[in-house]
Structure 1
Amino acid sequence: MTSRYIAIDWGSTNLRAWCYQDGVCVDSRQTTAGVTRLNGKTPEAVFDEVTQGWREKTTPVLMAGMVGSNAGWKIAPYLPCPARFSDLSQQLTPVLDNVWIIPGLSIQSENNCNVMRGEETQLLGARTLSQSSVYIMPGTHCKWVHADKDRVQDFRTVMTGELHHILLNHSLIGAGLPEQQTSHKAFIAGVDRGINDSALLPRLFEVRAAHVLGELPRSEVSEYLSGLLIGNEVAAMTRQYMPDSQHPITIVANPALSQRYVNALGMLGYQAKVLDGDNAFQAGIRSIANAVAN
């Protein structure tokens, strides 16, 4: 590739783009025109808008995320795991001249059926920045990934973020609540309950009962619920993925969300490194750009 290229993280509800010159980000843009929020525009029209002034015909563009799904611009196939990290740069899907979509990853086995889009690029970047055997990628759908220096071996998805949003905003748990406040104490209390009680479903209604009966401040329900869900997730996944606390763990997310998982893991005796998700994504794009250039 040339010394100038464009990286785009195009998800369901948001699009983020970065313009690079000689390995340095010289500009960035963000829009809410995710693939499910195009508002009547074509993907190509949105693409032209977000890259306006950045791109000449020979400027390479690498895109990742839901833009490659069946709801996106063009379907980019999933690579079945185990998959080599190097395969990501060798199986790009062309969309326009010098415009490609990075493939996702999939698992299809007797006891695990999973897919990821976008996180594979973060994962590639995380591997270059912090080699670990387990990567935790929190978000709407948290990914727990087993990898070595060459391959993605396996991954699982936990819908913790989406479940928190649904329960708080579309269920009886959050009905009639005031504006929610940050509370580390409430979060830790939720984590403690979540990691020490595997019976999550009965505990969910107790969140509602606790604030109705005055046991839980109504402004701290979100924090307690977050702790309960993350604590339960971390306890379940460490039992399955990490029988001891010696596995190197790297968390890839924004700092605030990463800290929640650091706290929950710490209560179970695990330590983890933290990488910023945007930094990991951009490092992954840079790795693919360099591989294609060579």
Structure 2
Amino acid sequence: MSESYIAIDWGSTHLRAWLYRDQQCVDSLQLPYGVSRLAGQTAREAFDKYIEPWRKREAVPVVMAGMIGSDAGWQPVPYLPCPVSLHELSARLFEVAPQVWIVPGLKTSRNVMRGEETQLLGAMQLVPASRFVLPGTHSKWVQVTHGAVSEFSTAMTGELHHLLMNNSLIGKGLPEQREDAGAFQAGLHRGLEAPGQVFSLFEARALRVLGELPQESVSEWLSGLLIGAEVAAMRGPVESLTLVGSESLCRRYRLAFETVGMTVNELAGDAAFQQGIRSILDARR
């Protein structure tokens, strides 16, 4: 297989792609054309418009991961049932066009993931652990046993924060929000001590109304509450744990784990994704 390839992370809201030649990234793009925001075009049409120009010189292999493999994407790609070794991904790619493949997602009896499996494959090689946490809109908590994904859970923490701030009484009428480490810490401690958060959520409004929380800091307090509740509900005995995601989100989760006395490792989500794609392609050579 050619040393040149294209790696694509195609999610619900964004299309991100990287062109590699001789193992070096020579071009990249990020577009607001996730599978839920294709602006009247199909996924194939978006691919032909933005990605295919990179392949004019040669038929560069393309590996895509994420929601592009869902029923809202290019073509539904089957999930691999857990427990599963992620080394199987390379043999289970789904070809949607010549030399264009989609990575399959993973499933349990009650959960599914798409895109994170590729990050996990890279993370397991770069920063091995028995548990991985991938913070995000839908955070994934993944248990790895003997090199295989044995089970995973999803926490809708990021989406819940967005919904509460934008579509509920908690966020109604607030001014522009700002970073506030103290407010985040206060919310974090509240979430850690009260993981059953139904009765704690309204405190985000009450504290603001009573003058105990600045209006500009409601988002930070709520973020701390939700992340604290997530960590309190999900943590348990674990040999080692690696956070995989953006620097800003990993920082928040790291603080939560440190507060409960746990030391964690971190890995940038993009680094994990790129390593995962490389591993998949290497296995096919």
TM exceeding 0.5: yes
Q: Which moved more, 1:68-77 or 1:192-201?
A: 192-201
1:153-207 Cα distance to aligned partner (Å, 9 max, x none): 1100000000000001100000000000100110011010100113310110111
Task: Please tell me whether the aligned partners of residues 85 and 148 of structure 2 are also in contact (alpha carbons under 8 angstroms).
Answer: yes
Taking the TM superposition and a 5 Å limit, the aligned residue runs for 1:87-106 are 87-106=88-107
> Which of residues 219, 222, 246 is equivalent to 1:222?
219
- Counterpart of 2:83? 82
How many pairs does the alignment contain?
284
Equivalent-residue separation in structure 2 for 1:124 and 1:50 (angstroms): 27
Do structure 1's residue 152 and structure 2's residue 149 form an aligned pair?
yes
- Counterpart of 1:68? 69
Equivalent-residue separation in structure 2 for 1:288 and 1:36 (angstroms): 26
SS of the aligned residue for 1:37 comes to: coil
Residue 52 of structure 1 deviates from its aligned partner by 4.1
SS of the aligned residue for 1:34 comes to: coil
Give ranges in structure 1 of 5+ residues lacking alignment.
none
Amino acid paired to 2:160: L
State TM-score, norm by structure 2. Answer: 0.97
| Displaced runs of 4 or more, over 3 A | none
> Which of residues 271, 274, 294 is equivalent to 2:266?
274
Amino acid paired to 2:3: S
SS of the aligned residue for 1:9 comes to: strand
Give ranges in structure 2 of 5+ residues lacking alignment.
none
Taking the TM superposition and a 5 Å limit, the aligned residue runs for 1:1-294 are 1-56=1-56, 58-108=59-109, 113-148=110-145, 150-238=147-235, 242-243=236-237, 247-293=239-285
SS of the aligned residue for 2:175 comes to: coil
Amino acid paired to 1:140: T
1:109-155 Cα distance to aligned partner (Å, 9 max, x none): xxxx0000000000001011011001000000000000145211110
Equivalent-residue separation in structure 2 for 1:186 and 1:150 (angstroms): 39
Equivalent-residue separation in structure 1 for 2:20 and 2:67 (angstroms): 22
Equivalent-residue separation in structure 2 for 1:61 and 1:129 (angstroms): 23
SS of the aligned residue for 1:173 comes to: coil
Task: Please tell me whether the aligned partners of residues 17 and 50 of structure 1 are also in contact (alpha carbons under 8 angstroms).
Answer: no
Amino acid paired to 1:270: M
Task: Please tell me whether the aligned partners of residues 195 and 230 of structure 2 are also in contact (alpha carbons under 8 angstroms).
Answer: no
1:55-77 Cα distance to aligned partner (Å, 9 max, x none): 14531100000000011101110
Identity of aligned residues (%): 54
Equivalent-residue separation in structure 1 for 2:144 and 2:50 (angstroms): 34
